[in-house]
Structure 1
Amino acid sequence: MQPDVPSTAQAAEAGKSEVSAVRKFLLSRGNSALADRVFHVLMVVCGLSIFGIVILILAELVERSNLAWKTVGFKFFGNLTLNGSFWDPVNGHFSALPFVYGTLVSSFLSLLIAVPLAIGLAIFLTEMCPKLLRGPLAFITELLAAIPSIIYGLWAFFVLVPLLREHVNPLLIKYLGWTGLFEDTNPTGLGYFAAAVILAIMILPIISSLTREVMTAVPHSQREAVLALGATRWEMIRMGVLRNARIGIVGSVILGLGRALGETMAVTMVIGNTPQISKSLLDNGNSMSSVIATEFTEAVSDLHRSALIEIGLALFVLTIIVNGLAQLLVWAVTRGAPARVN
């Protein structure tokens, strides 16, 4: 027995009843000009609140770091040493140079490790992965991005650092020690390299997920056109997909860099927390975020606290610049313009 299908007349009658109900509601509400203006003001306040929060944070950091800025000046980011020490709170000598160095070294080294793996994972998920495996693998990748940083830090301290100390670092010292970047001077396994590896694991799902979304946005006609010209699968991916998605991929890498620059707990637990500059990546070091986390509660002088806040100000400005650049690049590739083959 066939189910009852509404006739055209019944559908028209239902539509009229809905229109009538909406008309009755609009007539019964009275004058809505005031409510519309209130709604408009509330939405504007919500939109401007983001700018207000950023300005308040920036103003507070500038005010709290004013003492260090007046005392040290531009030398705060230079080589201000006392008896070979960059950071000497007891004697009132402060230099952020080792922390800036540690932040940049660990962050960019993590990019060198994570970017090839992330792009390879994105290519596999987008172009080569079986449908049954694509969903679970994509879910696990995104799940990695949701794990708290303290969990990464604990895992790195108890699992990753012993693994590097016993198996990876000896190989690096044996085969790459001649470069000076992997000298056998730190038997603990902590240092720049350990921090870079855990950062690479943390930013890998971010870069991979964004890269996969950008690659998915490339029209299938691009792939078909390249294959129709006789290209292999790798040539199709390289010329038809990666070439069109290159700006978005760069944006995802910069977003990953922004996460690496501001990471605190995981880096604090494995970098060694020593305010020094060393050529060897296996030596202990420190970062801008980790020195704030470890010393702020123990700072006893106003100048010491002000110096730590000035480091936070520098990190805040750097993060804003990096994320702004990433958003600009991502917008450039996702603004709706069709992809082109150059």
Structure 2
Amino acid sequence: MRELSVHSWIDRAKRNWKSDKKRAVLEAAYCLYLGPWFTATSRRPIGTNVYDLEWDALIILDACRVDALRYLAPEYDFLDARSIESILSVGSGSREWLVKTFNEDRLEDVQETALVTANGFDRDVFMNGRYLPGIAVPFCWPGAEPVTEHDFLRYDPVWRDCRDERLDTVPPEATTNRAILAGREADADRLVVHYAQPHTPYIADAVMDGGRELTDIEQSAWGALKQGSVPNEVVWRMYLNNLRHALDSVGVLLENLDAETVVLSADHGEAFGEWGIQGHPTGLPHPHVKRVPWATTTATDYESVATDDIASPAANPTEDDGTVEEHLEALGYGKF
């Protein structure tokens, strides 16, 4: 459910009570908290809106932690661990970041922005105008509504025609290619490129193994951690490999894009057991979730990737709500 409804909130709590009383109480309390959280922070955001900072191209690495990017920085010429700063994100989940970044208060900025995104929340936020979190809340009064897909100078929802069914996500190479196309074709003041990685599913090892199917742990790492069937260190290694996989592709983008100031950042971070929390629940003021990297570099288009080799965006994507839900479920959303 993605709606404002006291009845839906009560009905969901009753259904949960029949199967898991503890879950019912926790989820009901969480949803009750999200209403005032979204109401208050939509008016006075806790964090920095990226439009308040200087950049020509903004690369969003979904769920990237500050310490993870600093750890891998020595492996990449375009990163310097000592100069990687951090900011407080306006959200602790993708939907929250989207609605608090691209909203009516920032309309003029959005109208000069080209957005290339592999994040499936774009339909809910920009096409359906849904501000609320991923489960029913009893009340909420947003301070600023999100923009629509038509407000962007260029809008390319990559995940709707580049999703790899075997991997259950959009590979970073597909996002990079479409970002190269946008950079060369769109006369935009700013370019935002939203990668799906290092967010789950953790596809890096499967890709290295020739594109095999994902294991249950690679597909649903958080469930495995909660069940105690895998040590935290194993999931952390897969997470870092997923980040490497994205950064390899970012390196290609930086050699096929002209931008004086490029920033690598994230919509939110990720918790790996700190405070007893796994993942990135919406509305969570957790330091490893709310604080994200801010790494500045530059890009020059050497045209090592030919535009003719890149497929243009689908003119009329036909994804229905069921497909959208499947995509978000594959990313681990839709469950409390």
Q: Which has the larger radius of gyration?
A: 1
Place the TM-score, normalised by the shorter chain, in its bin. under 0.3
User: Which is richer in strand?
Assistant: 2
User: Which is richer in helix?
Assistant: 1
